[in-house]
Each structure stands twice: as structure tokens, then as C-alpha cells.
């Protein structure tokens, strides 16, 4: 799957359903029939929506971990805590399970944002706070992550 593009402000209805933005649904069209995995994010108070094909690639990598090492076993358990298989229904809606809604503190107003090959689902206020918090350090972070020496490893 190619990378996804876009950040969209949306609303969740009283039943916890999110109407997937049309532009994002169009990008997801090739993988809609395979379903998705919705999980807690590791570093942020948001949810991550993985197309099933992306989830399977990740699980193949995780399956190579030696499960007889306690830290690997603990990591797998925590990483997969609360994982749910979800689908986008025929009306273009995604039902966010209650436990995941509580984890991400999702209220009515949310932000759905692409993150390369997955989608992040945020409470709108938490998303704006995370962007604001990162703004000060973003230049330094960009240099550290992307600013390789002038060899062939840089992206520019």
C-alpha cells in the first residue's frame, strides 16, 4: 500500500461511529474489503488504524521475537492490549469500541490524520496540544531524524 495523505476534522456520533472522510476512504478503497486493526498508540494518547495488510507485516516482524525473553513477551502483551478488528461499514462509518474511546479520551470532535501507512485517530483537543507541544522542538527533531551527513543516506 502506498502512503496515506491527509488530516481531517470529524465528529463521532453518540454510538461511537466515525464517518470516514471521503478523501481518505478513497485512498483506502483498495484495502477496505480486508478490514482493519484498531489499537492504542504506544507514545501518544490516540488510536492507530492499520489496514489488515500493514498489520500482518508488523505481526510477521513481531513473530520473530524470542517469546522466551520476558521483555519480548511483555512488549507483545502491551503492544497488542486492546487490539480490535474493525471494518468500515457500507455507509463509510467506523465504530470505535468503547474501551478504545476511553483510552484516547475521544469526545465528539476528533482528528483523523495519516501517518504514512496507518491512520491516527485523536480527540481534537489532544491532537492540537500534541502538535503545539512538538512545534518548538520540530526543527531539532527533523535535523536529528532526517538530517544525515552529505552522503547517500539523506532524503533530500
Question: Which one, of 77, 21, 13, lies nearest residue 49 by Cα?
Answer: 21
Q: Which residues pair with 95 in a beta bridge?
A: 17
Lowest mean pLDDT segment, chosen from 4-13, 19-28, 106-115, 138-147 = 138-147
Nearest to 12 by CA among 129, 95, 119: 95
- Which cell numbers hold the place of 84? 480490535
| Chain mean position to CA 85 | 14
33 pLDDT exceeds 80?
yes
* Residues 51-79: tens digit of each pLDDT: 999 999 999 999 999 999 999 999 999 99
The pTM score is 0.86
Percent of the chain with pLDDT over 90: 74
If residue 24 lies in a helix (H) or strand (E), which one and from where to where? helix 22-28
Q: Is the pLDDT of residue 131 over 90?
A: no
The residues facing 19 across adjacent strands are: 93
Beta strand 17-19 pairing with 109-115: unpaired
Name the strand (E) or helix (H) holding 122.
strand 118-123
| Mean predicted lDDT score pLDDT of the chain | 89
Going from the N-terminus, what domains does the chain have, and what CATH number goes with each?
A: 7-124 (3.40.1550.20)
Tell me what pLDDT residue 153 has: 56
Amino acid at each position: 500500500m502506498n502512503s496515506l495523505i491527509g488530516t481531517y476534522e470529524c465528529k463521532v456520533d453518540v454510538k461511537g461511529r466515525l464517518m470516514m472522510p471521503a478523501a481518505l476512504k478513497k485512498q483506502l478503497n483498495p484495502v477496505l474489503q480486508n478490514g482493519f486493526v484498531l489499537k492504542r498508540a504506544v507514545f501518544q494518547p490516540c488510536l492507530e488504524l492499520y489496514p489488515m495488510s500493514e498489520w500482518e507485516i508488523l505481526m510477521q516482524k513481531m513473530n520473530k521475537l524470542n517469546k522466551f525473553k520476558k521483555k519480548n513477551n511483555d512488549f507483545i502483551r502491551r503492544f497488542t492490549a486492546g487490539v480490535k478488528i474493525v471494518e468500515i461499514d457500507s455507509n463509510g462509518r467506523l465504530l470505535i469500541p468503547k474501551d478504545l474511546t476511553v483510552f484516547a479520551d475521544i469526545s465528539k470532535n476528533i482528528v483523523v490524520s495519516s501517518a504514512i501507512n496507518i491512520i491516527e485517530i485523536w480527540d481534537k483537543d489532544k491532537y492540537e496540544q500534541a502538535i503545539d507541544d512538538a512545534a518548538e522542538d520540530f526543527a531539532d527533531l527533523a535535523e536529528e531524524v532526517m538530517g544525515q551527513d552529505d552522503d547517500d543516506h539523506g532524503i533530500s
